[in-house]
Amino acid sequence: MEQVITNLWVGGDKDVPEAKKRGYARLACTKDGIDSHRSMLGYTTMGAPKGDEYLYARRDDVMALNLIDVDDPEMIPWEMLEAGIKFVAEMLQAGKKVLVHCNAAHSRGPTTAFMTMRAIGELPQPFNRARHIFKTLYESFSPGHGMETKAREHWLELENKYARPN
């Protein structure tokens, strides 16, 4: 678990117990694993149950995305990622420490934290420069093709989207 900016942490399944112990808000960017969409909703089928919580589910200060790391960006709904980004921004604005995590802490969680930093005004740079900066903050950053494509596609619209008013 690594802090990338004040109160924003990035990690993997192994970091969730410590984050729970410390009382961090958590965004699980994963269908399976600890704090995952599957564990939050309790389904045992391959696919999530259809309904209001199909893309994401929230319980107080924990949210889980029905997110798989795939090469095809069309298989990663923007509505789901945007809900996660908005949740993290809300938690940060409330003064909470937040862990954004996935299973291995390389692609889904870090990319969502990367996009959140853009949305709250922490990465105003063009995409490639911001990606380089984030990689210096979180060396394990290695987004899959689908996640990187989604971030790149929405980079301009994310700029200051959830920035705190002055």
Instruction: Give the per-residue pLDDT at 22.
Output: 98
pLDDT lower than 70: segments of the chain: 166
Q: How far is CA 121 from CA 46, 47, 54, in A?
A: 37, 35, 29
Tell me how far apart the 2 most distant CA atoms of the chain are, in Å.
46
- Torsion angle, CA of 91/94/95/101, rounded to 10 degrees? 0
Instruction: Give the per-residue pLDDT at 166.
Output: 60
Amino acid found at 35? D
Cα 132-87-71 angle, rounded to 5 deg: 50
pLDDT digits (tens, 9 = 90+) for 46-76: 999 999 999 999 999 999 999 999 999 999 9
Instruction: Provide the CATH topology of domain 2-158.
Output: Protein-Tyrosine Phosphatase; Chain A (3.90.190)
Report domain extents, the chain.
Answer: 2-158
State the number of CA atoms in the 13 A half-sphere of 164 facing the CB. 11
Instruction: Give the per-residue pLDDT at 164.
Output: 76
